Amino acid sequence: MRHKTSRAPIIAYLCLALSMCMVGSNIGIGKIVVADLPVFLFAALRFAIATIILSPGMLKTSFRQGLNKASWGGLFMQSFFGCFLFSVFMLYGVIYTSATSAGVITSALPSIIALLAWIWIRERVDSRGAIAIVFAVLGIALLNLQDASASGKSSMLGNALVLGAVLAEAIFAVFSRRLSLTVHPWSMAFGVNLVGALLFLPLAIPQAIAFDWNAADAEIWYWVLLYSITASVLSFLLWYRGISEVPANVAGLFTGVMPVSAALIGFFVLGELLSAGHLIGMLLVIASIVFGAKAKTDLAVKRQA
């Protein structure tokens, strides 16, 4: 009988968890910034600042490993979904809904990645995976009903936009896993930020012309810089480092870290309260993560047997 043991890539798991923690925390920070800065201008500044920070590293030959015409096509697709669409949906979404609600919705990402993999690449979904998807849908539905009764249609619009951001992020996860096997994480982070800045530039120029630069106080620029460093530099580097060792469907489980950090920022920084509806919705979505993790663990054990 063959006995096989596997060593968990602890560093990769830690990188993925830290990356998603930063993404979740920035949901609340983004809500602060877009209260004073136009969305497209903020997004263009974010990606431009990150590109400048990452540029010196591109002088190192080893960092440019695997960067060619084909990989640039993959980087464009990652940036379009993970930077452009994600930023538009998320930054507009948090205008109409709370950071807490946005955090709960983003916690459905592991199940949405599983559902997308089933539809897109015909990856089998077993009974536990199906239950995970159902729990995620129920959690989001309950959250929408909670916000609709409290705030009307505007919160439902915000939640729908955040859900669009989650779908875009799921597509990004699939693309990033494939490219991470051949391209250095630094080049990937630089590429997606550069493409993101170029995609937002045409939309940001009119807003930059109309914006009253003297009206924004120093605190806003501090948040913009912090957001750029954490969301566009560190989170990308950590995610690419982790997913280069972990399959996309396993890495997707770590996106469940987002709602925790988003809720903490919403509570401590924005002064938002956690209602019973939010808590129940979050528990349902967390249950979807638990079922999804158990299904993937059982599958890995069967493959090693």
The mean pLDDT of 211-230, rounded to a whole number, is: 92
**Model pLDDT for residues 71-120, shown as the tens digit of each residue:** 999 999 999 998 899 888 987 887 888 766 776 777 677 777 777 767 76
Residue 299 pLDDT exceeds 70: no
Residue 224 pLDDT exceeds 80: yes
Return the pLDDT at 71.
92
The mean pLDDT of 55-69, rounded to a whole number, is: 91
Answer for the pair 242, 251: CB distance below 8 angstroms, yes or no.
yes
Element (H, E) at 293: helix 276-304
Kindly state the percentage of the chain with pLDDT values over 90: 33
Range with lowest mean pLDDT among 134-138, 290-294, 300-304: 300-304
> Pick from 17, 15, 22, 14: which is nearest to 262 by CA?
22
The mean pLDDT of 232-258, rounded to a whole number, is: 83
CA gap 51, 285 in Å, rounded = 34
The mean pLDDT of 212-221, rounded to a whole number, is: 90
More confident residue, 105 or 191: 191
Coil/strand/helix, residue 152: coil
Pick the most confident of 107-121, 141-155, 211-225, 266-280: 211-225
Buried b vs exposed e over 225-237: b needs ≥16 C-beta within 10 Å? eebbbbbbbbbbb
Return the pLDDT at 143.
63
Give the domain ranges of the chain: 10-58+67-304
Residue 5 pLDDT exceeds 50: no
Q: Which residue has the tokens 């019973």?
A: 276
